[in-house]
Chain A
């Protein structure tokens, strides 16, 4: 079983629709959860972070975390063609000296179609 699992996609949604991305993780002691967006040939960029159960909203993005189910999701409202990218779910453990050690999922490719 992979530590962090995502559907590889591609997930295709029409422009203006809601895109729903899902992620499950195996390590119950995980403490922090992140969604990154990665364009081809580029480094990941942080979209959302979430640390406690429930929803967290930031603009068009909403992250949802359910630690009991070991599940984290990302909703993108009013999807735009520029949202087309690979979305990486990352699960973190806090290091003794501070900061997080991250384990990444394989990513879900999102395509927003005109």
Chain B
């Protein structure tokens, strides 16, 4: 079936580093992808909606300049956490709706980001 691949699965890096996370739809085209963040024992919070060929739509309270989103093709969206700090440590999950599927969204496996 349709799969969304997310890479890397975990990252540990120093404060101030920028980190890029990739999300790929493997066998379907995704004009829209979603980026979520999940802190321990909390739910998934939508950060932004990535739109192929246009600017992402950010949820209230999410800094556009800190969380850069690029959706350059119908199968790839990237999230770059710029100048990451310890408070950015979280579980980041992408998803993509597959209109031809009975699933509302296909989720990637998530990226565990730890900033030291």
Contacts and interface: CB of A to CB of B under 8 A. Distances in A.
Contacts of B32: 95, 97, 99
Interface string B86-116: 0000010100011100111101111010000
B102 to A, nearest CB: 7
Q: SS class of chain B's interface: helix, strand, loop or mixed? A: loop
Interface residue range, chain A: 20 to 34
Contacts of A32: 104
Interface string B52-95: 00000000000000000000000000000000000000010100
Nearest to A33: B104
Given A88-B43, A100-B105, 8 more contacts: A42-B110, A44-B93, A99-B32, A99-B105, A100-B104, A101-B49, A102-B105, A104-B43
Q: Which 4 A-B pairs have the closest CB atoms?
A: A99-B97, A98-B99, A100-B104, A43-B107
